[in-house]
Structure 1
Amino acid sequence: MQLYNTLSAKERATLIEEAGQERLTISFYQYAHIGNPELFRDHLFIQWNALDVLGRIYVAHEGINAQLSVPAENFEAFKNHLDSISFLENVRLNIAIEQDNLSFLKLKVKVRHKIVADGLNDATFDVTDKGIHVNAEVFNALIEDPNTVLVDMRNHYESEIGHFKNALTPDVDTFRDSLDSIERDLADHKADKKLVMYCTGGIRCEKASAYYKHKGFKQVYQLEGGIIDYARQVENRKLENKFLGKNFVFDHRRGERITDDVIAHCHQCGKPCDTHVNCANEACHLLFIQCEACGEQMDSCCSEACKDVHNLPYEEQKKLRKGKAASNKIFKKGRSDVLKFKR
């Protein structure tokens, strides 16, 4: 029985374009106690492959984290399948603000140790004992309260292009880095401050809310549905939008524009810009912000050195990428001495 992809990303993109069918980009998560993640993974792959679902899905003993796309005509069947699973019945689905038929090109369902890497090893920590979920209207009111501390639970390269007004935006590379950093900074306010958190779709601040409750914070809240659902709520309910800029997303789009504010700068020339790219040198692939002018000048590379490599014959580039030492340099996120205007 097929439990893996048989088409390359290029082949899949061609098929999608030829089909001419609209696809929906969706994300969802659910913390739950899953006894056999491997069996659950295989079940999902079989069912979703038949529905032409594509995406990146992680399954662990602590739950599921899914980012995917599905043909619009198969959405009802997909939703019915979710509802047939007890802990996924009526799970909140975050439908992307900006749709793109090519947001995902393969179906990858992987078993992981955790659906959100947190670096924690604490048997007394229950991830399902979460904080209070609030909608956009309540969230807006909470963050105007002087007794509230608003915290962005995302990484530096995400908050750089967009965040809520007056939010603390920890300069961290990973979620696990932010947990200790925030607890240390707010250690004196566990009882007297309202800790309000947000992230892309809710999964990180839900785990964080349970963690901070475990650590003794008395008033813990999270924005339900994250920035994705907040943007939809403020538009549908005509609420004040307190978010500035873009919401970073983890597919090839790299961002959804929430407001017209451009709060970031090109990392190479310093001009206002909030477009993330990956360095065209496949041995680097650095994620950074680059304006169109710099993209043309630098051949979509982060440095002159990468530009030189990128212009080598393909076989020579492949040789340079061989070995563990080289692979460890790939897929860094906006941290490099070559970026002159990284804040």
Structure 2
Amino acid sequence: MQLYNKLSAREREALLEEAGEDRLTLSFYAYAKIGNPELFRNHLFIAWDQIDVLGRIYVAHEGINAQLSVPAKKFEEFKNFIDQIYFLENVRLNIAVEHDLKSFLKLKVKVRDKIVADGLNDETFDVRNKGIHVDALKFNELIADPNTILVDMRNHYESEIGHFQGAITPDVDTFRDSLDIIEEDLKDHKEDKNLVMYCTGGIRCEKASAYYKHKGFKNVYQLEGGIIEYARQVQNLQLENKFIGKNFVFDHRRSEKITEDVIAHCHQCGKACDTHVNCANEACHLLFIQCEECAATMNDCCSDKCKEIAALPYTEQKKLRQGKGNSNKIFKKGRSAVLKFKH
């Protein structure tokens, strides 16, 4: 029985273009106790592979975190399937603001220790004792209150291209890094302020809200469904939009435009720009912001050195990479001395 991908990304891309069918990009998560994650993983892969679902899904003893692309005509079949899983029945599905035929090119269902890497020992606190979920309307009311502290629970490269007005945006590389920094910075306001948090789809805030309540914060709130759901509600209910710029997403689109504001800059020339790219040198693959002019000048690379390597025949590039591990720049997104205008 097939439990893995047989097609390469390029082969899948060609099939998607040939089919030309509408697809929906969506995400969901659920914290639940899963006794056998491997068995559950196989169950999901078999079912979703049959209806052409693509995406990146993490399964762990603590639950599931899924980012998917589903054929529009098979959405009801997909929804009926997950509703038959007791802890996923009527789970909130965060439907993307912008859809793309090729947001995902493979179905990857992986078993992990955690559905979000947070570095926490969950045995020291109750992850079910989470903060109060608020919708877009209540969220707008809360952040207008001078007694509220608004915190972005995402990483620097996410908030750089878009964030809520007035939010604290920690300059961190990982979710785990932000937890202690925020606690230290706000330690004098554990009882007298509203702590309101947001992230992309809500999953990081779910864990963070329980963590901060455990650390003594009394009034903890989180934006239900994250930026994705907020954007949908603002549009549908004609609410004032407090978010500016783009929402970073973890698929081939890399971002969704929420407003027309461009709040970031090209990391190479400083021009207003909010387009993330990966360096064309596969041995680097650094994620950074690059404008069209620099992309043309640098051949989609982050530095002159990478430009030289990317220009070599592919066989020579492979020889240069042989026996070498990936550069840490891959994981330190946007952190490199070659980027002159990274703030």
Does the alignment reach a TM-score above 0.5? yes
Deviation string, structure 1 residues 113-142 (Cα, Å, up to 9, x no partner): 000111112412222221100000000000
Q: Which runs of 5+ in 1 are unaligned?
A: none
2:104 is matched with: 104
Distance 1:265 1:108 in 2: 33
Distance 1:330 1:322 in 2: 17
Residue 72 to residue 325, structure 1, CA distance change in 2 (3 Å): closer
Instruction: Provide the C-alpha distance between the structure 1 equivalents of 2:104 and 2:40, rounded to a whole number of angstroms.
Output: 21
**Structure 1 residue 214 corresponds to structure 2 residue 240:** no
Instruction: Map 1:189-268 onto structure 2 (within 5 A).
Output: 189-268=189-268
Letter in 2 for 1:293: E
Following superposition, the deviation at residue 2 of structure 1 comes to 0.7
Tell me, in whole angstroms, the C-alpha distance in 1 between the residues paired with 2:322 and 2:121: 34
**Is it true that 1:315 corresponds to 2:315 in the alignment?**
yes
CA distance change for structure 1 residues 107 and 70 in 2, over 3 Å: closer, same or farther? Answer: same
4+ residue runs of structure 1 moved beyond 6 angstroms? none
Mapped to 2, the partners of 1:175 and 1:125 lie a distance apart of 18
Aligned to 1:273: 273
> Between Structure 1 and Structure 2, how many residues are aligned?
343
| Alignment partners' CA distance in 2, 1:287 and 1:75 | 32
| Alignment partners' CA distance in 2, 1:224 and 1:328 | 33
Q: Write out per-residue CA displacement over residues 142-188 of structure 1, whole angstroms, 9 at most, x where no aligned residue.
A: 00111100000000000000000000000000001011111111111
One-letter amino acid matched to 1:198: Y
List alignment gaps of at least 5 residues for structure 2.
none
Change in 2 beyond 3 A, CA 1:326/1:224? closer
Residue of structure 2 in register with 1:188 after alignment: 188
State whether residues 329 and 336 of structure 2, in contact with CA within 8 Å, keep that contact through their aligned partners in structure 1: no
When structure 1 is superposed on structure 2, of 131-140 and 309-318 the one drifting more is: 309-318
1: distance between equivalents of 2:264 and 2:318?
33
Counterpart secondary structure, 1:318:
helix
Q: Retained in 1: the 8 A contact 2:329–2:335?
A: no
Alpha-carbon distance between aligned partners in 1 of 2:186 and 2:67, rounded to the nearest angstrom: 32
- After TM superposition, the score normalised by the length of structure 1 is 0.98
Aligned position for 1:282: 282
| CA shift for structure 1 position 323 | 2.6
Q: Which residue of 1 aligns with 2:50?
A: 50
- When structure 1 is superposed on structure 2, of 234-243 and 117-126 the one drifting more is 117-126
2:123 counterpart SS class:
coil
Aligned pairs (5 A) from 1:83-122: 83-122=83-122
The one-letter code matched in structure 1 to 2:154 is: R
Secondary structure of the corresponding residue to residue 110 of structure 2: strand
Q: Which position in structure 1 is the counterpart of 2:134? A: 134
Matched with 1:172 is 172
SS at match of 2:262: coil
Q: Deviations 1:268-302 (Å, cap 9, x if unpaired)?
A: 11010000000001010110000000000000100
AA of the residue aligned to 1:274: D
Q: Distance in 2 between matches of 1:328 and 1:197?
A: 29
In structure 1, C-alpha distance between the alignment counterparts of 2:91 and 2:122, rounded to whole Å: 27
TM-superposed CA distance for 1:319, in Å, is 1.6
Look up the match of 1:299. Answer: 299
Shift of 1:322: 2.2
Distance in 2, matches of 1:195 and 1:203, equals 17
Cα shift at 1:6: 0.6
Q: Judge conservation of contact 2:173–2:332 (CA < 8 Å) in 1.
A: no
Name the SS for the 1:133 alignment partner.
strand
Question: SS where residue 277 of structure 1 aligns?
Answer: strand
Do 1:32 and 1:128's aligned partners in 2 also have CA atoms closer than 8 Å?
A: no
Conserved 8 A contact 1:284-1:331: no
Query: Matched residues in 2 for 1:58 and 1:78: separation?
Result: 17
